[in-house]
């Protein structure tokens, strides 16, 4: 059995639904877990009707939503017990930003590599209100799952007769969009730093006075 035949047998098996749910959950605090890749791959094969694209999206969103709350709880627990000085420093640094524009950060971080883990754990560590966190992470999970599912489905539809090319296109599109987002974030950061006025040099004591 070649690789694509094996991959097709996995993606069309009912087990893939459980895998999507679990991987999307674990990805909240284990960023090395390839949850987005698995969702995209499953969506590529969903073009044939099996697996179901709506079910892929729903399970990915549910898994991500649950995982975010696990990460939130871990952040709260670790900070409460004072076992991680690094987390405490990170929480103190980002607390003002979270409490000022937490919704935008929670949603945006979903699409930034490693950003999701940092934001959900910091939210718990800073005591960001759970009700608001649940609302924004639900929106983020739904957007991410829909985006990943549609990217994969688009690749599968474009190369229906060749799933390998469809998979490559789906993953390539996701990586390209992520890369463009990171480039835009970098550019915007540089632009803001250039607009910030330079601090004035402190006046010298006694400057301009004449010695008698």
Residue 52 DSSP symbol:
-
Does the global pTM surpass 0.85? Answer: no
DSSP string covering 155-189? HHHHTTT-HHHHHHHHHHHHHHHHHHHHHHHHHHH
Please report whether residue 59 resides in a domain.
Answer: yes
Please report whether residue 155 resides in a domain.
Answer: yes
Give the count of domains, the chain.
1
pLDDT at 62: 97
pLDDT at 70: 95
pLDDT at 201: 45
Task: Please give the torsion angle defined by the CA atoms of residues 48, 50, 55 and 56, in that order, rounded to the nearest 10 degrees.
Answer: -80
Helix (H, G, I), strand (E, B) or coil at 203: coil
Please report whether residue 47 resides in a domain.
Answer: yes
Please report whether residue 39 resides in a domain.
Answer: yes
pLDDT at 168: 79
Residues of the chain with pLDDT under 50: 199, 201-212
Please report whether residue 10 resides in a domain.
Answer: yes
DSSP string covering 122-155? HHHHHT--HHHHHHHHHHHHHHHHHHHHHHHHHH
Place of tokens 């759970």: 130
Please report whether residue 133 resides in a domain.
Answer: yes
Please report whether residue 200 resides in a domain.
Answer: no
Which domain range does residue 152 map to?
3-188
How does the average pLDDT of the chain come out, rounded?
A: 80
Q: How far apart are CA 32 and CA 117, in angstroms?
A: 11
Q: How far apart are CA 177 and CA 144, in angstroms?
A: 13
Please report whether residue 87 resides in a domain.
Answer: yes
What angle (nearest 5°) sits at the alpha carbon of residue 150, between those of residues 145 and 155?
A: 135
**Closest to 44 (Cα-Cα) out of 148, 177, 155, 146:** 155
């Amino acid at each position: 059995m070649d690789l694509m035949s094996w991959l097709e047998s996995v993606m069309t098996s009912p087990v893939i639904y459980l895998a999507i749910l679990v991987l999307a959950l674990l990805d909240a605090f284990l960023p090395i877990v390839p949850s987005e890749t698995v969702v995209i791959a499953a969506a590529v094969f969903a073009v044939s009707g099996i697996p179901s694209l709506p079910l892929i999206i729903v399970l990915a969103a549910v898994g991500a939503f649950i995982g975010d709350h696990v990460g939130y709880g871990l952040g709260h627990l670790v900070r409460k017990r004072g076992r991680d000085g690094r987390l405490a420093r990170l929480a103190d640094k980002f607390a003002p930003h979270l409490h000022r524009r937490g919704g935008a950060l929670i949603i945006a971080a979903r699409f930034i590599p490693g950003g999701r883990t940092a934001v959900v754990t910091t939210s718990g560590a800073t005591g960001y209100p759970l009700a608001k966190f649940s609302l924004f992470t639900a929106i983020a999970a739904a957007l991410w799952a829909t985006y990943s599912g549609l990217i994969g489905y688009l690749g599968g539809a474009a190369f229906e007769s060749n799933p390998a090319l469809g998979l490559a296109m789906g993953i390539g599109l996701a990586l390209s969009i992520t890369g463009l987002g990171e480039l835009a974030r970098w550019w915007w950061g540089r632009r803001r730093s250039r607009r910030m006025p330079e601090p004035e040099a402190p006046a010298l004591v006694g400057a301009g006075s004449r010695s008698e």
